[in-house]
């Protein structure tokens, strides 16, 4: 896999040129059809670039595994503090556990496992089920990222935040999650609408 070395203090992240991944009109929302083919195309064209450079280049999509953790009908809801690396997401709520894919990861699911152990405290590893691909070019953050969405069940097992300086949170009922929807990052708004029955569906799916 091709790579452009990251400079001191920068992070190398996996992504793919937008035009190699999808030639038609890009969608806004969660795409579930043809996901395996799109993932194959993404991995075939993937490379690593410095994150600082990638964050301002919408011609290149960074690949982000994004896990929604549920416990029955409850959903793991987190509130970002101002200590995170991306100021655009400060003080936003999120329902996604995950982040960038780095060269030391064992692919996309390896990155997801690493992020899981970095972000939460749990005596189990999730069994992720692929949900679809999440895209939102209307948002500056979304324009340079493509979400690979997974879902997993805690099944009554306790989960807590590890990075308490960056995040706060725990399991919330659907109504509790909906109550802060307007304060969620855009991806989480779209996913909340997609996953919880009875919500207003996100446009463009």
Which among 143, 155, 161 has a CA at the least distance from the CA of 79? 161
Query: Given a cut of 50, is residue 204 above it in pLDDT?
Result: no
Close Cβ partners of 18 (under 8 Å, ≥ 6 residues apart): 26, 58, 59, 60, 61
Q: What confidence score (pLDDT) does residue 121 get?
A: 96
Q: What integer best gives the mean pLDDT of the chain?
A: 88
Q: What confidence score (pLDDT) does residue 201 get?
A: 40
The dihedral through the CA atoms of 189, 192, 195, 198 has a sign that is: negative
97 phi, psi to nearest 5 deg: -100, 125
Report percent pLDDT > 90 for the chain: 72
Query: Given a cut of 90, is residue 70 above it in pLDDT?
Result: yes
Q: What confidence score (pLDDT) does residue 91 get?
A: 73
Q: Domains of the chain, with CATH numbers? A: 12-195 (3.90.79.10)
Query: Given a cut of 60, is residue 5 above it in pLDDT?
Result: no
Query: Given a cut of 70, is residue 8 above it in pLDDT?
Result: no
Q: Cα separation of 194 and 19, whole Å? A: 26
Which has more pLDDT, 146 or 139? 146
Burial grade of 39 (CB within 10 A; 0-12, 13-18, 19 or more):
middle
Mean pLDDT of 175-184: 95
Local confidence band at 102 (pLDDT 50, 70, 90 cut-offs): very high
Q: What confidence score (pLDDT) does residue 202 get?
A: 39
Mean pLDDT of 2-15: 70
């Amino acid at each position: 896999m091709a790579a452009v070395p990251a400079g001191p203090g920068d992070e190398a992240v996996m992504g793919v040129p937008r035009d190699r991944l999808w030639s038609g009109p890009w969608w806004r929302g969660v795409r579930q059809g043809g996901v395996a083919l799109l993932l194959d195309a993404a991995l075939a064209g993937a490379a690593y670039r410095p994150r600082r450079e990638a964050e301002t280049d919408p011609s290149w999509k960074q690949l982000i595994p994004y896990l929604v953790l549920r416990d029955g009908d409850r959903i793991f809801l987190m509130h970002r503090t101002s200590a995170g690396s991306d100021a655009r997401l400060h003080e936003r709520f999120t329902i996604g556990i995950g982040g960038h894919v780095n060269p030391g990861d064992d692919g996309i699911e390896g990155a997801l496992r690493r992020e899981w152990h970095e972000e939460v405290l749990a005596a189990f590893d999730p069994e992720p089920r692929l949900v679809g691909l999440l895209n939102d070019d209307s948002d500056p953050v979304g324009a340079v990222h493509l979400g690979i969405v997974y879902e997993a069940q805690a099944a009554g097992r306790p989960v807590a935040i590890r990075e308490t300086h960056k995040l706060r949170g725990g399991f919330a009922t659907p109504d509790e999650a909906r109550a802060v929807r307007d304060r969620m990052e855009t991806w989480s708004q779209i996913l909340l609408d997609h996953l919880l029955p009875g919500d207003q569906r996100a446009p463009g799916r």
